[in-house]
């Protein structure tokens, strides 16, 4: 997966772009779409800032009926953090009373490269919306996620080119009893992805998130180590879906998976964007497909070799 297009759906609802100032586009019923509120990431003098667009949204839409909200770009997102947007959203919690899903930072690489997006502490959003069932955020730079308790959250997605160990520990240490789907893009240390499997210990041990059924530990430049940790992780026994795609998985990590606990109970195993040999890809499919596991091996990546003799493997989404 790349971030070459904006979200088309959130919380089972089609995304609708809240119109620009002066537009004649009609507005749909508030509860039937996921509303995307966005401003140019390179604002001209006469462009609305994100907060101004949001103020119009609150005034023009029956926001009590809004179920899903997508925050798109904001001015100079590569320099200005999401802190003021978080504050504005928290301040509107007494109006967005039906909000069930929120995604923060829906920008393509043409808007702002994923590792340039300046985020902030996003946990005040969860505190302000206790009924939120789905939360996603894109961008790991300056992202903060201290451990939090939230009893309704069902899905948590964090997309980054590099996710800091403090963020990973904060998520893994949170109390999220309803969480069924967790997806983390761990990224590369070149862009701040300095976490290790030890940071995921409460998650992998199965002591966190008792309702978890789908786990994605994706886009990692240490995917072999992640695979080895997952191979013996107690949490895997109750998963229905495991996704280790988008990273630098090689035969070493795949062999660890095959040598570990049985994976035949899974409905899906995601490995797309990998560096496996054809033989290893076939071994995994042959071992799991007869048990009904859908194994997505996708396309094999070819390592790049340089004149200094080093070989480089790249994650799917970094910069």
In contact, 219 and 195? CB cutoff 8 Å: no
pTM of the model: 0.96
At 173 the pLDDT is 96
Model confidence at 45: pLDDT above 80: no
Asked if pLDDT for residue 2 goes beyond 60, the answer is no
Cα distances (Å, whole numbers) of residue 62 to 28, 31, 51, 67, 185? 10, 9, 18, 11, 34
Distance CA 188, CA 164 (A): 10
pLDDT of residue 267: 98
Distance of CA 104 to CAs 32, 159, 164, 237, Å?
20, 10, 18, 32
Percent residues over pLDDT 90 in the chain: 89
pLDDT tens figures, 105-161 = 999 999 999 999 999 999 999 999 999 999 999 999 999 999 999 999 999 999 999
Q: Which residues contact 167 (CB under 8 A, 6 or more apart)?
A: 140, 143, 144, 145, 158, 195
pLDDT of residue 85 exceeding 80, the answer is yes
For the residues of 16-66, what is the DSSP string, one character each?
Answer: EEPPPTT--PPPPPGGGSEEEE---SS--TTSPPHHHHHHHHHHHS-GGG-
Instruction: Please tell me the least confidently modeled range out of 40-49, 66-75, 99-108, 305-314.
Output: 305-314
The DSSP call for residue 149 is: B
Tokens 């996620």 appear where?
145
Helices (H), 158-277: 165-172, 201-204, 223-231, 251-259
Percent of the chain with pLDDT over 70: 98
pLDDT at 24: 85
CA-only gyration radius of the chain, Å: 20
Check pLDDT > 50 for residue 100. Answer: yes
In b/e form, how buried is each residue of 238-273, taking b as 16+ CB within 10 angstroms? ebebbbbbbbbbbbebbbbbeebeebeebeebbbbb
pLDDT value, residue 1:
46
Among 215, 286, 206, 209, smallest CA distance to 245 is for: 215
User: How confident is the model at residue 5, as a pLDDT?
Assistant: 86
Per residue in 242-253, pLDDT (tens digit) is: 999 999 999 999
Per-residue pLDDT for 227 more than 70? yes
9-30 mean pLDDT: 94
* Best mean pLDDT range from 35-39, 298-302, 309-313: 35-39
The Cβ of residue 205 has, within 10 Å, a number of other Cβ atoms equal to: 12
Q: Calculate the average pLDDT of the chain.
A: 95
pLDDT band at 308 (very low <50, low <70, confident <90, very high): low
Q: Give tens-digit pLDDT for 179-222.
A: 999 999 999 999 999 999 999 999 999 999 999 999 999 999 99
The confidence score (pLDDT) of residue 57 equals 98
Across residues 76-87, what is the average pLDDT?
Answer: 96
């Amino acid at each position: 997966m790349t971030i070459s297009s904006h979200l088309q759906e959130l919380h089972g609802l089609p995304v609708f772009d809240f119109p620009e100032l002066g537009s004649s586009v009609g507005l749909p019923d508030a509860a039937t779409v996921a509303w995307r509120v966005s401003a140019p990431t390179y604002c001209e003098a006469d462009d609305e800032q994100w907060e101004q667009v949001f103020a119009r949204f609150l005034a023009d839409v029956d926001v009590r009926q809004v179920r899903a909200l997508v925050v798109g770009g904001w001015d100079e997102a590569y320099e200005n953090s999401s802190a003021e947007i978080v504050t504005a959203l928290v301040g509107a919690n007494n109006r967005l009373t039906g909000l069930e899903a929120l995604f923060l930072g829906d920008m393509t690489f043409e808007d702002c490269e994923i590792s340039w997006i300046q985020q902030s502490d996003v946990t005040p959003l969860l505190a302000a919306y206790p009924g939120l069932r789905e939360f996603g955020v894109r961008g790991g730079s300056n992202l903060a996620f201290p451990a939090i308790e939230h009893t309704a959250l069902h899905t948590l997605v964090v997309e980054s080119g590099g996710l800091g160990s403090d963020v990973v520990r904060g998520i893994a240490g949170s109390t999220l009893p309803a969480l069924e789907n967790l997806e983390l893009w761990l990224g590369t240390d070149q862009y701040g992805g300095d976490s290790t499997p030890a940071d995921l210990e409460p998650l992998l041990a199965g002591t966190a998130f008792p309702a978890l059924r789908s786990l994605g530990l994706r886009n990692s430049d240490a995917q072999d180590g992640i695979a080895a940790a997952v191979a013996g992780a107690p949490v895997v026994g109750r998963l229905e879906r495991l996704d280790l795609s988008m990273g630098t998985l090689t035969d070493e990590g795949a062999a660890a998976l095959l040598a570990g606990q049985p994976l035949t109970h899974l409905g899906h195993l995601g490995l797309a964007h990998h560096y496996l040999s054809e033989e290893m890809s076939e071994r995994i499919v042959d071992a799991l497909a007869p048990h009904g596991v859908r194994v997505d091996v996708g396309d094999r990546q070819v390592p790049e070799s340089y004149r200094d003799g080093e070989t480089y493997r790249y994650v799917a989404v970094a910069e």
